[in-house]
C-alpha cells in the first residue's frame, strides 16, 4: 500500500514537472517569435557611439537616459510650434522598432552633432560607448560618429536637373568633406554647369541634417544604416596607386611566392602523352 502511495505521489510530481516543461516550451516558442520579430529592423538609426546592432541590442537596457540627455541638452532648437527638437526617441509599441531602444528619424529631427555628445556619455551600460568616438588624438569627437550614411537618389535631386540647390551641402556639419559639390557639364543646355552634391562615406556621420534640409517633398538625400547602404570590395582588388609603395612591394613579393608554389601544367605535357606520340 505504502509503495503504491509513494508511486502515485511520484507520478503526480513527474507529470506536474512535465506539464511545466511542456508549457515552458510553448511559452518559449511564442516568446521567441515575438522577440525575434521585434528585434529586426535593418533600417533603424542609432545614436552616436552605438555598437553594431546585434551587440547594441544586447547591451541596451532601455533606460532612456540618452533620450533625456538629448532632450535636456544645451542650446536645443525649437520648431515653429515652440516644441523642443528632441532627436532621440525611445521605441514604443507600434513604432516598429526594437522595443524601448533609442532611435531617430532624421526627416523629423536630425542629430545636431553636439560636440560634448551628451547622449553617449549618459549611457550606463556602454551600449553607446564614447570610446568608439575617439579620434587619433584620443579626444571624444562627434565627427567620428557613424550613425549611418547619406544616400542620394539623383533622379529626384533637383541639382541633377541643373537647378542650383546646395541645401544639403550647406546643412552638412562637415561641409565639403562629407558632402561636396561636383561640377558637371549640363548636357541639356550645353553651356551651363550642374553643381551636384556627392557624399563621401569616409566622412559622413549619418546625422541626417542634409535629409532634414532637403527641399523635395520626399527627401532626395536620406540616411541609411551603413551596412545597408555600403558595399564591400574585398581584399582581392588592390588600388596600387593609393597604397603606400612599401606595402605594394611586399604584396607583390607575397604574390610571387604564391605563384612559385603554383606549378601549372604545361599543355605540351598533358596533351602529348606517350600514347599520342606512339600513334
Partner 1 sequence: MSNTVAVTKSQGRESERTKPFLARNKYLILRRITQIGILSLYIGGNYLGWKILQGNLSTSKFLEVIPLSDPYAVLQMFFSGAIVGVDVIVGALLILAFYGLIAGRAFCSWVCPVNMFTDAANWIRVKTGLHREEKRINIPRSTRYWFLVLGLILSPILGVPAFEFISPVSVTHRGIIFGIGLGWTLILVIFLFDLFVVKNGWCGHLCPLGAFYSLISRPVSLLRVGYDLNKCTECMECKRVCPEVQVLWMIGKENKPVLSGECTNCGRCIDVCPENALFYTLRFKKSGGDKNET
Q: Which residues bind partner 1 (CB under 8 A)?
A: 20, 23-24, 27-28, 31-32, 34-36, 38-39, 54-55, 57-59, 61-65, 67-68, 71-72, 89-95, 98-100, 123-126
Q: What are phi and psi of 150, to 5 degrees?
A: -75, 140
Helix (H, G, I), strand (E, B) or coil at 122: helix
Q: Can you list the positions of beta strands (E) in the chain?
A: 89-90, 102-103, 149-152, 179-185, 193-199, 221-224
CB closer to partner 1 out of 126 and 184: 126
CB closer to partner 1 out of 31 and 215: 31
**Strands 149-152 vs 221-224: parallel, antiparallel or unpaired:** antiparallel
CB closer to partner 1 out of 43 and 61: 61
Question: Residue 116 CB, nearest distance to partner 1 (Å)?
Answer: 16
Question: Residue 126 CB, nearest distance to partner 1 (Å)?
Answer: 4
CB closer to partner 1 out of 121 and 161: 121
Handedness of CA 88, 177, 184, 189 (dihedral sign): positive
CB closer to partner 1 out of 17 and 193: 17
- C-alpha 9/C-alpha 1 separation (Å) is 12
- C-alpha 123/C-alpha 101 separation (Å) is 12
Question: Residue 213 CB, nearest distance to partner 1 (Å)?
Answer: 26
Question: Residue 234 CB, nearest distance to partner 1 (Å)?
Answer: 27
Question: Residue 114 CB, nearest distance to partner 1 (Å)?
Answer: 15
- C-alpha 248/C-alpha 233 separation (Å) is 18
Residue that the C-alpha cell 599543355 belongs to: 267
Say which residues have a Cβ less than 8 Å from residue 251's Cβ, sequence separation at least 6.
238, 243
CB closer to partner 1 out of 109 and 229: 109
Question: Residue 25 CB, nearest distance to partner 1 (Å)?
Answer: 9
Amino acid at each position: 500500500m505504502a509503495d503504491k502511495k509513494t508511486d502515485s505521489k511520484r507520478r503526480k510530481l513527474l507529470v506536474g514537472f512535465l506539464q511545466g516543461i511542456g508549457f515552458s516550451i510553448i511559452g518559449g516558442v511564442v516568446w521567441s517569435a515575438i522577440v525575434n520579430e521585434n528585434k529586426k529592423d535593418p533600417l533603424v538609426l542609432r545614436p552616436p557611439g552605438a555598437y553594431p546592432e546585434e551587440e547594441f541590442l544586447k547591451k541596451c537596457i532601455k533606460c532612456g537616459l540618452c533620450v533625456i540627455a538629448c532632450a535636456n541638452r544645451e542650446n536645443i532648437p525649437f520648431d515653429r510650434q515652440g516644441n523642443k527638437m528632441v532627436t532621440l526617441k525611445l521605441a514604443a509599441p507600434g513604432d516598429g522598432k526594437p522595443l524601448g531602444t533609442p532611435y531617430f528619424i532624421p526627416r523629423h529631427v536630425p542629430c545636431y552633432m553636439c560636440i560634448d555628445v551628451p547622449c553617449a556619455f549618459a549611457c550606463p551600460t556602454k551600449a553607446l560607448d564614447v570610446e568608439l568616438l575617439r579620434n587619433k588624438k584620443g579626444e571624444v569627437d562627434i565627427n567620428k560618429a557613424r550613425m549611418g550614411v547619406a544616400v542620394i537618389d539623383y533622379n529626384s535631386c533637383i541639382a541633377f536637373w541643373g537647378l542650383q540647390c546646395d541645401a544639403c551641402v550647406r546643412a552638412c556639419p562637415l561641409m565639403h568633406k562629407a558632402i561636396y559639390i561636383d561640377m558637371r557639364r549640363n548636357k541639356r543646355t550645353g553651356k551651363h554647369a550642374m553643381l551636384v552634391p556627392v557624399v563621401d562615406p569616409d566622412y559622413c556621420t549619418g546625422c541626417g541634417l542634409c535629409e532634414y534640409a532637403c527641399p523635395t517633398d520626399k527627401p532626395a538625400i536620406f540616411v541609411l544604416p551603413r551596412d545597408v547602404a555600403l558595399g564591400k570590395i574585398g581584399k582581392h582588388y588592390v588600388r596600387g596607386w593609393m597604397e603606400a609603395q612599401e606595402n605594394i612591394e611586399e604584396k607583390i613579393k607575397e604574390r610571387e611566392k604564391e605563384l612559385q608554389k603554383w606549378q601549372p601544367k604545361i599543355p605540351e605535357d598533358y596533351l602529348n602523352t606517350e600514347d599520342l606520340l606512339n600513334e
